Structure 1
Amino acid sequence: MAHMLEFWFEFGSTYSYLTAMRIEDAAGARGVTVRWRPFLLGPVFAAQGWDTSPFNIHKAKGEYMWRDMARRAERYGLPFQRLPATGPGAFPQNGLAAARIALIGLDEGWGEEFARGVYSAEFAAGHDIADPVLLQRLAREAGATGDVLSRAQTQANKDRLKSNVDEAFRRGIFGAPSFMVDGELYWGDDRLADALDAAAA
C-alpha cells in the first residue's frame, strides 16, 4: 500500500509554486495521497538570524534562483514572472492571510484549489497575495462560502497555523517546499520525485 506524503508549503516560496501546480497529478500517477501542510518561513528564517529570504540576502543566489525558476517553469509548462525587489508585491510576499485561509479550505475540500489559485496569482500574474479582496475572490472561486476572511482571523485558526510552524521546527523542516514520508525529510521541488518514490515503495 502506498504511503501518504506531507507537502509543507509557504506561499512566499518560489519553488513551492512549481510543486503546488503539479504535485497532485504526479502523486496520483503513483497512487500516493498528499496531505497539504501550510506553514510560515518567517519564523524559520528568524531562527537562523535572517530577516528576509536568503535569496535576497545573497545577491548571486537570488539571481540564480530567478533564472532557475524561469527554466523550470518553462520545463513544466507553467507561466512565471519575476517579482519586484521593492514595493507592493515585492519578493518575498506576505502569505500569512493566505495560509490561514488555506487551513480552512483544506478542512472543507477547497484548500488545494485555493492554494493553486494563490500561487498562480502571485507567480504567474504578479499580484500581491496580501490583498484581502484578491484572497476572498480566490477562495470563492475555489469553492468557499461566506466570509472566509473573518473565519480565517479567529484566534483558534491563528493558533492552528502557529501549531503548524511549531511542528515544522520540531520535525527539522527548514525550507519550502518540503516533503515528509514516514518521518523522512525531502527538501526542494527537485526532490519531489524522490519523495514520491519513497511514498510509493
Structure 2
Amino acid sequence: MTGRIQFWFEFASTYSYLSAMRIEDAAARHGVAVDWQPFLLGPIFAAQGWDNSPFNIYPAKGRYMWRDMERLCAARDLPFVRPDPFPQNGLMAARLALVAKQQGRIGPFVRAVYAAQFGRGLPISDAGVLAECWCAAGLQATLIQDASAPETKAALRAQSDKAQKLDLFGAPSFIAGDELFWGDDRLDEALMHAASI
C-alpha cells in the first residue's frame, strides 16, 4: 500500500453506510490502506446547538436525504430500509467497533452493523442484533464483553475528542495527509489524494 486514509464514521450516519460498504474495495484499487475510525456525532452536534440529527431538525433536508439514499442504494445494488427510530443509538456498536479493530476485524463488523441497520431496518442498540453482527464478522463471542470495559469506554470518548480537535463536523469524513474530505461523494477524491502522497 502506498497511501493511507482515515475513515471517520458514525453508525447513525446514512451516508457512512454507503462509504463503509465500498471503501475497502475502492481503497485497494488505489493502493491505499484504510484506517477505520468510529466516533459519535452527538457531542459535535451539541457543540453546534443541535439536540438531534440535522435531517430531523430540517425536514426538507431530511426528505431529500431519504430519497437520495433510495436512489444511491438502488444504483449500487445495496438493500435499504429506513430505520425507525432515526437516528439509532450507535453507542454500543461504536464501542464494539473499537474492540473489533483490535482484533483486525473492524471492516467486517462495521459492514454487518450497517447492513443490519440500513439494509434490514434492525435496531443496532439491541444486544441480540449486535451479537449477530459480531458473529457474522467472525469474532469470538467472549470478546463482546470487552465493549463494556472501562478502557473501551475511555477509548471511544478519546475518539470523539480527537474528532472535535480535527474539526470534523459530520460523517463520513476522510483524512488523507492533512486534507479533510467530507461526504460519501468525496471518497474517490480522498483516495486519489491519499494515493498521491
Give TM-score scaled by structure 1 length. 0.95
Match for residue 112 of structure 2? 117
Match for residue 154 of structure 1? 149
Q: Which structure 2 residues correspond to residues 20-169 of structure 1 after superposition, within 5 A? A: 20-84=20-84, 90-169=85-164
Deviates more, 1:70-79 or 1:11-20: 70-79
Contact map agreement 1:132 1:149 (CA 8 A) in 2: no
The CA deviation at 1:150 is: 2.0
TM-superposition CA deviations, 1:1-33 (whole Å, max 9, x none): 732000000000000000000000000011010
Match for residue 183 of structure 2? 188
Give TM-score scaled by structure 2 length. 0.97
How many angstroms apart in 1 are the aligned matches of 2:3 and 2:139? 29
Point out where structure 2 has 5 or more consecutive residues left out of the alignment: none
How many angstroms apart in 1 are the aligned matches of 2:72 and 2:20? 13
**Root-mean-square deviation over aligned CA pairs:** 1.0
Q: Secondary structure at the match of 1:91?
A: coil
Q: Secondary structure at the match of 1:147?
A: helix
Identical aligned residues as a percent: 53
The count of corresponding residues between Structure 1 and Structure 2 is 196
Match for residue 169 of structure 2? 174
Runs of 4+ that moved beyond 4 A: none
Contact map agreement 1:5 1:32 (CA 8 A) in 2: yes
Corresponding letter in the other structure for 1:55: F
Contact map agreement 1:136 1:148 (CA 8 A) in 2: no
Corresponding letter in the other structure for 2:112: G
Deviates more, 1:187-196 or 1:1-10: 1-10
Contact map agreement 2:53 2:87 (CA 8 A) in 1: yes
